[in-house]
Amino acid sequence: MAVETGEKSQATSQKEFESLLNADFKNRKLKENEIIKATVTEIGKNYVVVDAKAKAEAMIPIEEFKNDKELEKLKVGSVIDVYLERIENFKGEIVISREKARRMMTWKKMEKVFETQEELTGYITGRVKGGFICTIDGLPTFMPASQIDVKPLKKFDHLMNTPLKVIATRIDRSRGNVCTSRRAVLEKSKNAEISEALKNINEGDIIEDAKVKATTDWGIFLDINGIDALLHVSDLSYGRVKKPSELVTIGQKLKVKITKIDEKTKRVSASIKALTEDPYQNISKKYKLGEIYDGVCTKLMDYGVFVKLEEGIEGLIHNSELSWANKNIQPSKVLSVSQKIKVKIVNIDIETKRISLSYKATLENPWDILEKETGNEIEVKVKNITDKAIFAELKSGLTGMLHYKELSYDENIENLKKFKKNDKIKVKVIEIKDEKIRLSKRALEKDPMDWFKENKKKVGDVITTRIHEILKNGVKVSIDKNKSLIVTIKKVDLAKEAADQRVDIFAPGNALDAKITELDTSNRKIKLSVKAAQIDEEKSLIAKFGQGATKSGATLKGIFEKALGGKSKKKKD
């Protein structure tokens, strides 16, 4: 009886415990995929055991507590936030995560601080392509390499796994990506320092001890009481400065004037030339248009030469003002740096501070001299030979053109092959117009066309020529003994009758009487015709022997035979 009574009481107590346990579970409202509170009950080497008020205690890998040195602060009884993944897995165990809870909490926090740009503490835990992994409360974010510091770093080991202040610069909610920046925090801090320092200086202030930090081709960087300032190359002097590094050294102290402070960009501009008087203010009293002054070449450019008239005042000689002979000549072929020259003031623009100068205006103008040489014989040097002309250089440096038709009166283009570069030839200047020079070599020789004036020949006269060359469609004949006047007689003009127009009946050297049908000595045009000469001769014979021949029944053949017979009879007598 006693045994039965004991079994009943044990069964009763077990039922009571189950009912109490079930009642306790009903009061515990656990939902998966949410953050819940858990109490640490044990801290082991590999796991941390927590009580999340579930059917059993949960085990979390100890690696999830090593970030931010949380493990050092953790102790039994500590209440922490964990992420409930599963209330019960296939083994009947509860699955929770401390790291996921921290990530979720950090993400929510990140969304808030992104709007306010609040600073967060992160750790550089690794390096990836293009940047670094910055972990913030268990949430890995991407930090571009350009955002780790205000200047490029070659070494960054000292920043690994150390607490750094960063801000979120971009959040992609759809992908769960966050970009962070340490540089923005540093710049923000620096800007705050600069803003505070800028309160102590104003535009127009003169700084006695501005320290040179660095030099570039376009300016000098200065340190003014901890503030970076730029001294641009154009603010060094009123004159032209080649390289700022040639004027100052690193660490040198300069006296400058604050010319501009940009409140938005926190940039400060300084000037040295602002401390001196502008030389262009009274320039009209020193320099007059059209006057000639001494200068020194300071810089050669493709478009001209800069010349210093005095300290702070420079002018430009454009290419077109360097030489009378060549408007596009290279400056280096005329002048050199540091060369002392005479220049003429062409224009002064006080507003833009530009002075136009002329070098060639100080030299003798070769065009004025050349006008006196028109029609005279001169010697020139061949510079270039083109398809139709020779370009030759005169002693004055000017260039003239000698067309192939002006080489010889035969106007043969093959005559160009007789000359080569650097040959010296005698020519005559025949025309100067619009700064262009025309030369002639044949003008130095006697014109064959003068033969007609000397022999008083004109259109309508019959002259005796000699066959020079036989062509397919005519013959070439020479008019004068020197064979300098060669004229082509076409086939149709060789005879009155078509049967006598055959070129094969002629031979070089044969005499041939022809009539001048066209003569233009200015344009050098000559036209001869044997046919026209025969027609004129026929008309003259008819006029002499054919009076009344028609009435008596005489024929033209009989008249010619009679005339020829009469001539031969007179010769015999």
Q: How many degrees, rounded to 5, is the angle at CA 160 between CA 154 and CA 165?
A: 100
Distance between CA atoms of 69 and 138, rounded to whole angstroms?
12
Q: What is the predicted pLDDT for the residue at 559?
A: 53
Which residues lie below 8 Å from residue 212, measured CB to CB, with a gap of 6+?
220, 221, 222, 223, 248, 249, 250, 251, 252, 253, 254
Name which of 369, 313, 366, 316 is nearest 344 in CA terms.
Answer: 316
The single-letter DSSP state of residue 495 is -
Distance between CA atoms of 565 and 356, rounded to whole angstroms?
93
Pairing mode, if any, of strands 436-440 and 399-403? parallel
Beta strands across the sheet bearing 474-478:
486-490, 474-478, 462-470, 511-520, 525-529
**Domains 117-189 and 200-275 fall in the same CATH topology:** yes
Name which of 372, 381, 353 is nearest 280 in CA terms.
Answer: 353
Within 77-224, residue ranges assigned H as helices are 98-116, 183-198
The two structure tokens encoding residue 29: 């409202």
Q: What is the predicted pLDDT for the residue at 339?
A: 92
450-542, which class in CATH?
Answer: mainly beta
Name the fold adopted by 289-359: OB fold (Dihydrolipoamide Acetyltransferase, E2P) (2.40.50)
The domains of the chain are located at 38-115, 117-189, 200-275, 289-359, 366-444, 450-542
CA neighbours closer than 13 Å in the CB half-sphere of residue 197: 17
- Calculate the dihedral angle through the C-alpha atoms of 356, 360, 365, 370, rounding to the nearest 10 degrees: -120
366-444, which class in CATH?
Answer: mainly beta
Q: Report the helix count and the strand count for the chain, using DSSP H and E.
A: 10, 30
Q: What is the predicted pLDDT for the residue at 143?
A: 92
Spell out the SS3 assignment of 225-263: CCEEEEEEHHHCCCCCCCCHHHCCCCCCEEEEEEEEEEC
The region that residue 558 occupies, defined by phi over 0 for left and psi between -120 and 50 for alpha, beta otherwise, is: alpha
The two structure tokens encoding residue 432: 């100067």
Contact 391, 383 (CB under 8 A): yes
Name which of 543, 535, 541 is nearest 495 in CA terms.
Answer: 535
Name which of 242, 313, 302, 229 is nearest 272 in CA terms.
Answer: 229
Q: What is the CATH number of domain 200-275?
A: 2.40.50.140
Q: What is the CATH number of domain 38-115?
A: 2.40.50.140
Residue with tokens 């009293």: 285
In tens digits, the chain (573 residues) has pLDDT values of 444 555 556 666 666 656 655 555 455 566 677 778 888 888 888 888 888 777 778 888 888 776 666 777 788 888 887 878 777 777 767 888 887 877 777 777 777 777 778 888 888 988 899 899 998 877 788 999 888 888 888 888 888 888 899 888 888 877 778 889 998 888 887 777 777 777 778 888 888 888 888 888 888 898 887 788 888 888 888 777 778 888 888 888 888 888 888 877 778 888 888 888 777 877 888 888 889 999 999 889 989 999 998 888 889 999 989 988 788 889 988 899 989 999 999 998 888 888 999 998 888 877 777 776 777 788 888 888 898 898 988 877 788 898 988 888 777 888 888 888 888 888 888 888 877 888 888 888 887 887 888 888 888 888 888 888 888 888 888 888 877 788 888 888 888 888 778 888 888 888 888 888 888 877 888 898 888 888 888 888 777 766 444 344 444 455 555 555 544 444 444
CB atoms inside a 10 Å sphere around CB 330: 11
Q: Coil, strand or helix: which one is 408?
A: coil
The two structure tokens encoding residue 299: 């810089």
Residue with tokens 């493990």: 71
Name which of 223, 197, 228 is nearest 210 in CA terms.
Answer: 223
| Distance, C-alpha 448 to centroid of its chain | 57
Q: What is the predicted pLDDT for the residue at 345?
A: 92
Report the amino acid identity of residue 515. Answer: K
Q: What is the CATH number of domain 117-189?
A: 2.40.50.140
The region that residue 45 occupies, defined by phi over 0 for left and psi between -120 and 50 for alpha, beta otherwise, is: alpha
CB atoms inside a 10 Å sphere around CB 375: 10
Distance between CA atoms of 67 and 135, rounded to whole angstroms?
9
The two structure tokens encoding residue 13: 């107590």
Q: What is the predicted pLDDT for the residue at 317?
A: 92
Distance between CA atoms of 483 and 415, rounded to whole angstroms?
17
